Structure 1
Amino acid sequence: MFIRHESLRSFLRFYPIVSGLIVLHFILFLTINFFPGGESTVLYWGVGQNGLIEQGEYWRLVTPIFLHASFPHVLFNSFSLYLFGPALEQMLGKVKFIVSYLVMGITANIVTYWLEDPFYTQLGASGSIYGLFGIYLYMTMFRKDLIDRINSQIVMTILVVGLIMTFVTPNINIIAHLFGFITGLALGPIILNKAKRYMPIIEMRQARDVSEPSFNPTRWKNKRRINSRLLKKIIWGLFILFVAAGLLIGFF
């Protein structure tokens, strides 16, 4: 679920919502940092500032989800979405995925507005991304038909590291992390009601290929390829855990 084998072209084709969100992240980041007036327009009008929200600028509960202040911030949030978004986009469908993503991020921002002081300012996709973790946790606990044991272990490892680092790392919006996660967990039984198990693109293509002969003369070569893919999965799995731990430590 979390190991990507697709080419860029296939990724864009099969996961258009995740792809669009990542592209939007970088477009807005580049606009803010490298285009004249970007900081004074996009950042100023999009950042979540509690005092301005209190004055009626309620769009600021939505726009911070797509904005990032620094390159590490946008890079690692986007990489998290790249790793953990595609499986849910396929399982939930495009509309349900983007609605859930926005609801989790907005809820995290609303609670931040309620609990923080009027001078508090926020931006970043952490509320929505932790919401994805909440959905995966519900899946791990109550919908074991949708996730295998290895991916469940990856989810639990990242969650433990992420939640610990949320409380020990400075300059983190703890409220957004927690309530994004809680919202995803609460939405789990609703949005996963009719979800189907994730199927990698390569398996989807094989399932559609009805011309495969019943006897495969290259079966021994295929077996070696399977072993090679398994080794690649193990390496990628370790890489995901390493990178996810790093990004959860300091960049959400």
Structure 2
Amino acid sequence: MFIRRESFKQFIHFYPVITTLVAIQIGIWLLMFLTPMINGIIGVIGLQFPPIGNWIYQWGAGVNLLVQQGDYWRLVTPIFLHDPNGVTHVLFNSFSLVIFGPALEQMLGKVKFLSVYLLAGTIGNLFTFLMDPSAYYFSLGASGAIYGLLGLYLFMIFFEKHLIDPASAQIVKIILVVGLIMTFLRPGINIYAHIFGFIGGVALGPIFLRNVKPFSPYRNPIRHTEDNNFQFNPNRWNKKRLPIKQYGRPILWTIIVVLVVLGVFGRFL
């Protein structure tokens, strides 16, 4: 479920919602990160690039005081915003979405997948607002939504076992254990968003997983373009197939290790 075999173009075609979400959050982060740099360069000739990223940041960040004053959209918009002072935050969440999201987008469909993602993230932000009394507490990031997806997988593991294979279930369990440990060990983590986003994902399971078919790579056929002069290659069956089983598990464990390392050392980058 979590091994990606598609090309970049195929990934965009098969998983448009995930592609759009990643593009939005990376695009906004680039606006916030690069605008001061660009203005510093072109400022010498008297030009200024509009601080669009800063405007988005100020308008969308989750600030408890502003939510209390009626800015309720701030329970949703932080899902798309990330720390402008470090790249690991946005890369970690984008990478996690690319790994764990595709199977769910195929299984649920575009609308239901986007609904689960936004609802889980909003639930995490809502409980951040309700549980933290600090009026000036602010939060950013898609972590609550990501943990919501993991919560949906955990619901499968316990109540819809036919939707997830044992190897994928084991990976989800390991990621959840590591993620839970890092949630309480790393400073600056929105604990409420992680915990309640995860709980929200579990709670949404009975609603969104009804009548869902298991993930299958064969539902996304990867077509290989043939030469214009030859529509059929008589020797194609003699080609060696890629040994997915042999290389799949090492690749997957490498991905897990990278996620853990980013989580541990992200605050120093």
**What CA distance in whole angstroms lies between the structure 1 residues aligned with 2:171 and 2:183?**
18
- In structure 1, C-alpha distance between the alignment counterparts of 2:264 and 2:118, rounded to whole Å: 24
Deviations 1:37-83 (A, max 9, x none): 13431111111000011011111111100001121111111000000
- Which residue of the partner structure matches residue 96 of structure 1? 112
Counterpart in 2 of 1:34?
A: 34
- 5+ long unaligned stretches in structure 2: 36-49, 223-233
Is the 1:51–1:118 Cα contact (8 Å) retained in structure 2?
yes
1:2-151 to structure 2, matched below 5 A, reads: 2-35=2-35, 36-69=50-83, 70-116=86-132, 117-151=134-168
> Which letter does structure 2 place at the counterpart of 1:169?
R
In 1, Cα distance between the equivalents of 2:171 and 2:6? Answer: 20
Shift of 1:205: 2.4
Are positions 1:231 and 2:246 aligned together? yes
1:153-232 correspondence to structure 2 within 5 Å:
153-200=170-217, 204-205=220-221, 221=238, 225-226=241-242, 228-232=243-247
Amino acid at match of 1:5: R
Name the amino acid aligned to 1:67: L
Counterpart residue identity of residue 161, structure 2: K
Task: Return the letter of the residue paired with 1:57.
Answer: D
3-state SS in 1 of match to 2:161 = coil
Aligned alpha-carbon RMSD (Å)? 2.1
2: CA distance between counterparts of 1:75 and 1:169?
17
Check the 8 A contact 2:148/2:201 in 1, yes or no: yes
Q: Which runs of 5+ in 1 are unaligned?
A: 207-215
- CA distance 1:132–1:118, change in 2 (3 Å): same
TM-score, normalisation: structure 1: 0.89
Compute the displacement of 1:115 (Å). Answer: 1.1
TM-score by length of 2: 0.84
TM-aligned CA deviation for residue 168 of structure 1: 1.2
May I ask how many residue pairs the two structures share in their alignment? 240
Identity within the alignment, %: 48
The CA distance in 2 between the partners of 1:134 and 1:101, in whole Å, is: 11
- Inter-CA distance 13–218: structure 2 relative to 1 (3 Å threshold): closer
**Secondary structure at 1:197's aligned position in 2?**
coil
Quote the offset at 1:249 in angstroms.
3.8
Instruction: Report the Cα distance in structure 1 between the residues aligned to 2:183 and 2:54, rounded to whole angstroms.
Output: 30
Conserved? CA contact 1:92–1:192, under 8 Å: yes
Q: Which amino acid aligns with 2:67?
A: I
Structure with max Cα Rg = 2
Tell me the distance in 2 between the aligned counterparts of 1:147 and 1:249. 28
Q: Which amino acid aligns with 1:4?
A: R
CA positional deviation for 1:204: 4.0
